[in-house]
């Protein structure tokens, strides 16, 4: 008999205290459409052990504690960004997380130690699909040739994490490989991507160095930000 493979993903429900999760979701909804198209290009670095400057980093402190000690041991910080999308029009292809600036300059492919997602709500479809198979640029949405996935359904306050070398992508509103645009659904799929790194990725700024997403800032940290 062939032994069962270990699951590729770990899922933790009720990851944050309920009040903190509600406040985090409210702050992100309050951003409206700010950089909603460029969300995947608007990433920030947070060094673990330093005071958080915004609600996401405040949550990251608790999320880091949910990782097994062996995964957490060498992690120095996280790169995070907001994922706000309509599952009727998924615009992110299957991929493996990497240090994009380093790759562009040197061709060296480095990956986070752990990739993870914190979900803020439920939505139509939008399963996260994770696999060991490589993405294929020749396929629709760069999907791997072999569809051997572990799936994670978006649920409010659900945290999921997996090895940073794994391929992953988001399925559409029908939980199929994204292709043609589907009829628009009423709401957005809201999540935060959090990559745990052994070393800081190249050219990723700290939140306080940016003028973006000021609505997420903690009151105690507002005086630390860069000025226009």
CATH class of 12-217: mainly beta
Taking the domains of the chain in order of start, what are their residue ranges?
12-217
Q: What pTM was computed for the model? A: 0.94
Nearest to 82 by CA among 150, 30, 132: 30
Q: Are strands 114-119 and 159-163 parallel, antiparallel or unpaired?
A: antiparallel
22 phi, psi to nearest 5 deg: -60, -40
Tokens linked to 206: 């700290």
| pLDDT at site 186 | 86
- Name which of 111, 87, 91 is nearest 166 in CA terms: 111
List per-block mean pLDDT (blocks of 10 residues) for the chain, which spans 228 residues.
75 98 98 96 97 98 97 96 97 97 97 98 98 98 97 98 98 96 93 98 97 92 54
* pLDDT score recorded for residue 225: 55
């Amino acid at each position: 008999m062939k032994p069962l493979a270990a699951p590729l993903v770990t899922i933790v429900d009720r990851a944050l205290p309920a009040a903190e999760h509600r406040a985090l979701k409210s702050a992100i909804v309050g951003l409206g459409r700010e950089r909603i198209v460029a969300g995947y290009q608007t990433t920030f670095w947070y060094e673990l052990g330093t005071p958080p400057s915004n609600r996401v980093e405040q949550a990251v402190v608790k999320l880091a504690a949910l990782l097994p000690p062996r995964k957490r041991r060498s992690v120095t910080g996280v790169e995070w960004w907001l994922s706000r999308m309509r599952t009727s029009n998924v615009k992110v292809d299957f991929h493996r997380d990497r240090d994009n600036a380093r790759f562009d300059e040197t061709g060296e492919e480095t990956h986070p130690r752990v990739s993870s997602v914190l979900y803020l709500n439920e939505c139509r479809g939008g399963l996260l699909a994770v696999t060991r198979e490589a993405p294929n640029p020749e396929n629709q949405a760069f999907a791997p040739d072999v569809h051997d996935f572990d799936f994670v359904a978006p649920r409010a306050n659900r945290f999921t994490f997996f090895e940073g070398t794994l391929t992953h992508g988001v399925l559409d509103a029908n939980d199929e490989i994204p292709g043609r645009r589907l009829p628009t659904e009423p709401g957005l799929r809201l999540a935060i991507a959090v990559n745990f790194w052994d070393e800081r990725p190249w050219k990723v700024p700290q939140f306080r160095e940016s003028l973006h997403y000021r609505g997420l800032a903690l009151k105690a940290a507002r005086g630390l930000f860069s000025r226009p």
